Amino acid sequence: MTIATAGAQRRAQIVSAWSFDVFDTFLLRACTTPDGVFERTYELSGISRTCPDVSASFVQHRIQAEARARRTAKQTRGTGEVRIDEIYSGFPFRLFGLARHHLTDLIESEFAAELELCRANPDMVGKYLDMKRAGHPVGFISDTYWDSDRLARLLRACCPGLSWDFLYASCDHGSGKGEALFAKYLSEQAIDAGASFHVGDNDRADVRGAKRHGIRPRYYPQATPQLASKFQRETALFELLCGGAPSRLDHGARTLRRVVAARSAEKSPASHLGMTVLGPVMTAFDAFIARRCQEVAGPGRKVALAFLGRDGFLPHRIWQELHGAISAYLEINRRVSLIASADTMQPLIDLLSKVLKIDAPTFGDMMKFLPRKVALFFAGYPNGIAPGEDLAKALPELMDANEIVGLAADLRTRLLAYLRHTVPEFDSCTDLVLADLGYSGSVQKALRRVFEMEGIRIRLHGTYLLSLDDAFDDIAEEDSAEGFISDLVVTPHIKRMLIRNVALLEQICCSADGSVRDYDNGRVLREINPRPASQVALAAEIQAGSIAFAKSAGDAALDLRLDPYTAPDVAARWCAATLARLLLLPDEDELALLGGLKHDVNLGTHALAPMIDSDFVRRQITARGVSAACTSAAPPMWLAGSFASLSPSNAYLYALFGANRLPADVFEESPCGQVQVGLFRTDAEATLETATLYRTGLGELRLRIPVSRAMGITMIALPLPKFAPEGLLLGVTIQSADDVSDAAESQEVVDIPEESLVYAGMQRTGSHYRVETEDACLLIPTVPMTQDIAIYSVAINPLGSCLK
């Protein structure tokens, strides 16, 4: 009993000590990764002026110099801890036009970069001060090449008046936290390890190192593994899509995202996606909209702001949350605006040519009547559904242009009544800013024609997230149009790849209502919304996460002294990379969350087009090759997601293609031999035909066998022992048309059912096969032909030797 009482008294006298890691825990850097300090050093040192456009080389040489210094220290002193002067001693001065005496200048430049980029982490400062007020010893233990004097200067610069009970820099003691630095701290400070705590972001040094010495760790990671993975992909895409731009200095945008994510309570996957990915993009776009409104404003001008529905719904909600300023949500789509602006038949022809499918009731609803010739036109198509392009070509023969002009005038009247009802003080406006996801300003141009017809002198200013800038040369002289992610941010090739996949973003951002079809006394008349309730709910949840980020980001930016949107070009490049990462390189969680979304086609039937169809992509690659698959027309609407559902590497190949970085002679097919293929006719007679064998950039084999209906072929025999005695059969597909070239280019690719294939003389397990005899064959039964030509394509991943 006496012993137990004494132990309790002793424990009551022990005061817990708290130690904090410095970098990426107590101090955060306003750059994407820690080596952003080196990129800023390149600028501050003046090397960027004497050796421009080589920041990546400077950063990599700085990293290599540190690695060499640590290896040398390990070999000579038995520890990898080094000082900053030892690092720069191994730097290639001459390469950058420097001499050895510039070593001190480089050190001072790097320290100046640290002073500029480092920010005290408000969450850690609060914890630190709480422990200090509670009477606990507090201080810092850091693995760093900065000595304790410089470390102290940096801490006080970021947090004026800060004091501590101890401060340990690993380079001063020749040992890191993973070695003996914790032991030295415990010994010198007479700290009881069991009553001490250490807070840090590094699992090896701060967590396992502390545990090894009996200290209780408090893990403070900069980001979850999932978010860190997203950041890595974003950086890779930034360097691919925005080549030449500094890839580490983002004015703290990524630091802000990490802090907001860390502060938010545990959220659902949908809300988390909005919080960490879409919210940052839309918040930056909001800053761009605000800047555009300021640029338009001026003496004698009365500016109104309107967000175009439906996919301008989320930007509008964010604007309301952040600004509270009056803005309008205008439900105007391309169909309504083009028809309302028609003074000839051409706008309607242009509209219909871009429609995938349309039926008679939908056309009648659009035009308010259905001419007999048009009804007969639809009756000639299966189920009365025709391609919009066919209708566009036939329309001049089906309708009188005067009928369209009259209908347009009536719709124009209803549209203007709606504008006056929705836009505050519409008739006294001098300028109307139209905010939208983008892309070519078709609604803006149509509204300009409407205003000209009605004598309305309001200037229009398109403000777009994504813009196809070559489409803006024909806007009215008094109007303007500008994209946040313009062709000066990413190339036109890349822009078109993003817009090819933007249907996913549209579905996430749009309202829960159906698309506008007309107006009545200032009210909106809408299409039936065919999207399932679950999809609408998912979009709402992602939007809620996006708005939560926008609301939190302002306070966090003030706390950290960050202004991530101060340089519009930098903000636009990083938003392009963030958005591209979601659209082009989604992770498995995002594919599972978003892959089931459907795109409501509108302007046609109430059909829903799939976002993802991985089988479609696989068939395209088999039949037409990687490049042709990358240029496939919709659907599927999310082509990059379809590639990603095959594998992350397939998604990256697609991104490379869209960035014009996929060399055809590396990844495309090239002839590698010829094969005699057996063709069996209905009369059981067989002929041998020579087919060219191709090898892809991934080492797979492709064989394409064209047959005509006149040949009467019932079976195709492939002598696998001759070119691939063992392998994985990846698929057999068929394309059909009335001539060989059309069949080869056809996107209508059909699988031959696996169960109909015959493996003669082979062992087979799933897709794997191994020939057992020299006369083994893969037998492919043909399907009944409805067109003159069919091309059978076979894809094999060979194992072992091939092409005997």
Confidence check: pLDDT of 117 > 80: yes
Confidence check: pLDDT of 539 > 60: yes
Confidence check: pLDDT of 265 > 90: no
Confidence label for 602 from pLDDT (cuts 50, 70 and 90): low
Q: Which of these three, 221, 239, 255, is where a domain ends?
A: 221
What are the structure tokens assigned to 784, written together?
Answer: 């009944």
Residue 606 has a pLDDT of 66
Give the mean pLDDT of 88-94: 96
Question: Are 713 and 745 found together in one domain?
Answer: yes
> Which tens digit of pLDDT belongs to each residue from 171-220?
999 999 999 999 999 999 999 999 999 999 999 999 999 999 999 999 99
Q: Which of these three, 221, 243, 276, is where a domain ends?
A: 221
Question: Are 50 and 185 found together in one domain?
Answer: yes
Confidence check: pLDDT of 3 > 50: no
462, 491, 464: which is closest to 474 by C-alpha? 462
The region that residue 190 occupies, defined by phi over 0 for left and psi between -120 and 50 for alpha, beta otherwise, is: left
Q: For residues 634 and 607, is the Cβ–Cβ distance under 8 A?
A: no
Q: Max CA-CA distance within the chain?
A: 108
Question: Are 23 and 49 found together in one domain?
Answer: yes
> Which tens digit of pLDDT belongs to each residue from 149-167?
999 999 999 999 999 999 9
Average predicted confidence (pLDDT) for the chain: 92
Share of the chain above pLDDT 70, in %: 97
Give the mean pLDDT of 353-381: 83
What are the structure tokens assigned to 525, written together?
Answer: 């008349």
Confidence check: pLDDT of 409 > 60: yes
Give the mean pLDDT of 71-88: 96
Question: Are 112 and 166 found together in one domain?
Answer: yes
Residue 143 has a pLDDT of 97
Collect all residues with Cβ–Cβ distance below 8 Å to 136 and sequence separation of at least 6: 15, 16, 17, 18
Residue 11 has a pLDDT of 40
With respect to residue 31, please indicate whether it lies within any of the assigned structural domains: yes
Give the C-alpha distances (Å, rounded to integers) separating 152 from 187, 223, 621: 22, 26, 59
Residue 16 has a pLDDT of 87
Question: Are 651 and 692 found together in one domain?
Answer: no
Q: Which of these three, 198, 221, 244, is where a domain ends?
A: 221
Residue 802 has a pLDDT of 56
Confidence label for 420 from pLDDT (cuts 50, 70 and 90): very high
Confidence label for 801 from pLDDT (cuts 50, 70 and 90): low
Give the mean pLDDT of 33-54: 95
Kindly compute the dihedral angle of the four CA atoms of residues 546, 547, 551, 554, in this order, to the nearest 10 degrees: 40
Give the mean pLDDT of 337-354: 85
Confidence check: pLDDT of 611 > 70: yes
> String of b and e for 340-366 (b: at least 16 CB within 10 Å)?
bbbeebebbbebbeebbbbbbebbeeb
Residue 776 has a pLDDT of 96
Confidence label for 490 from pLDDT (cuts 50, 70 and 90): very high
Residue 605 has a pLDDT of 53
CA distance 406 to 340: 10
Which range of residues forms the domain containing residue 758? Answer: 669-798
Question: Are 314 and 182 found together in one domain?
Answer: no
Question: Are 645 and 703 found together in one domain?
Answer: no
In DSSP terms, 689 is beta-bridged to: 677
With respect to residue 228, please indicate whether it lies within any of the assigned structural domains: no
Give the mean pLDDT of 370-386: 89
Give the mean pLDDT of 554-582: 96
Question: Are 98 and 169 found together in one domain?
Answer: yes
| More confidently predicted of 800 and 669 | 669
Give the mean pLDDT of 485-496: 95
DSSP classification of residue 280: H
Residue 412 has a pLDDT of 94
With respect to residue 449, please indicate whether it lies within any of the assigned structural domains: yes
Give 133-157 as a 3 state SS string.
Answer: HCCCCEEEEECCCCCHHHHHHHHHH
With respect to residue 266, please indicate whether it lies within any of the assigned structural domains: no
Question: Are 317 and 448 found together in one domain?
Answer: yes
Can you say whether the dihedral through the CA atoms of 420, 424, 425, 429 is positive or negative?
A: negative
> Number of structural domains, the chain?
4
Question: Are 728 and 645 found together in one domain?
Answer: no
Question: Are 198 and 50 found together in one domain?
Answer: yes
With respect to residue 803, please indicate whether it lies within any of the assigned structural domains: no
Confidence check: pLDDT of 419 > 50: yes
With respect to residue 546, please indicate whether it lies within any of the assigned structural domains: no
What are the structure tokens assigned to 223, written together?
Answer: 């980001």
Question: Are 396 and 482 found together in one domain?
Answer: yes
What are the structure tokens assigned to 509, written together?
Answer: 């951002």
> Which tens digit of pLDDT belongs to each residue from 289-313?
999 999 999 999 999 999 999 999 9
> Which tens digit of pLDDT belongs to each residue from 696-754?
988 999 999 999 999 999 999 999 999 999 999 999 999 999 999 999 999 999 999 99
With respect to residue 741, please indicate whether it lies within any of the assigned structural domains: yes
Residue 13 has a pLDDT of 44
With respect to residue 259, please indicate whether it lies within any of the assigned structural domains: no
